[in-house]
Amino acid sequence: MKAVILDGFCENPGDLSWDNVAGLCELTVYDRTAPEDVIARAQGAEILVVNKVPLREETLAQLPDVRYIAVLATGFNIIDTEYCAKRGIPVSNIPAYSTDSVAQYVFSFILAHASRVAEHSAAVHEGQWTSCPDFTFRVVPIAELAGKTLGIVGFGKIGQKVACIAQAFGMRVIATTAHPDKYAEKTVVFTDADTLARESDYISLHCPLTPQTTGLVNAQFLSKMKKSAFLVNTSRGPVVDEQALAQALDNGSIAGAGLDVLSDEPPKADNPLLTAKNCLITPHIAWAPTETRQRLMDIFTDNIRGFVTGKPINVVNM
């Protein structure tokens, strides 16, 4: 059975192995595939594997041999799943592989803002400690997390893990979710978005990207936040109105933001957040520790094995 991975580099830049998958099928791996090369490279493949390469109806219609699509990620909006269902093509994703790493990354941003380790280390290396008349000094204020309020938007597996870590720091946790009745959680207060915006010292976004959540953090939402509040987004870039956030940061309406996702990735050079004040931005890497990618690889291998043996798993469209 012929399988083609169209964009495997981000999952495996060389430190992992495709060997277990190669043992299940005739495997070809491309690091990256330009849109104009998809048809030629995928021709004759029964199994197509993608991370961010879109597979829409107009493309799949030219690939009659495709019987199965595996996504190297949790999100599968790049796939025309309805068309695949009509053709009887199962589509599998990789669920719940990055919960620990993303929750950890949220607190990388939160601690970066609260403890200001980077700023103080830079000051020491610049010689400010060696010339200091006292045993200590501060270049910017630092803060404790204990007693602060963390607002979590979306309370799936990652949101729940973030809540658990926050509580270990002694933080009060409030959250918004579409179905608060699903949770027996007694130590988290479920509330509405307006209350969460007003009361939170830190806000962490963990909602899926839907028509309802697109632009959820807009000028109106930001205007309700405390001037001392810090926003974290590790979910999806378009959940945030980037122009409104840049204005809020530059105006000092909120204290800062930590973003691992943007609306366009890679971002355009004129993205206003690239020059906004007090804005930490990293290149969509919360999911990418070695251990996390190995977990993804293991689940992906199980997905391929399931299809090859006639028992597909983690199917999202049937």
Q: Report the catalytic residues.
A: 236, 265, 284
Question: Which pair of structure tokens corresponds to residue 187?
Answer: 């130590």
Q: List the beta bridge partners of residue 231.
A: 203, 257
**Cα 57–Cα 62–Cα 64 angle in degrees, nearest 5:** 100
Q: Is the dihedral of CA 143, 149, 151, 155 positive or negative?
A: positive
Classify residue 111 as exposed, middle or buried by CB count within 10 Å of its CB (0-12, 13-18, 19+): middle
State whether residue 165 is helix, strand or coil. helix
Cα–Cα distance, 54 to 77 (Å, whole number): 8
**Cα 87–Cα 91–Cα 95 angle in degrees, nearest 5:** 165
Angle at which helices 99-115 and 290-308 cross, to 10°: 160
C-beta atoms surrounding 285 within 10 Å: 12
Cα–Cα distance, 274 to 294 (Å, whole number): 31
Please count the residues of the chain. Answer: 318
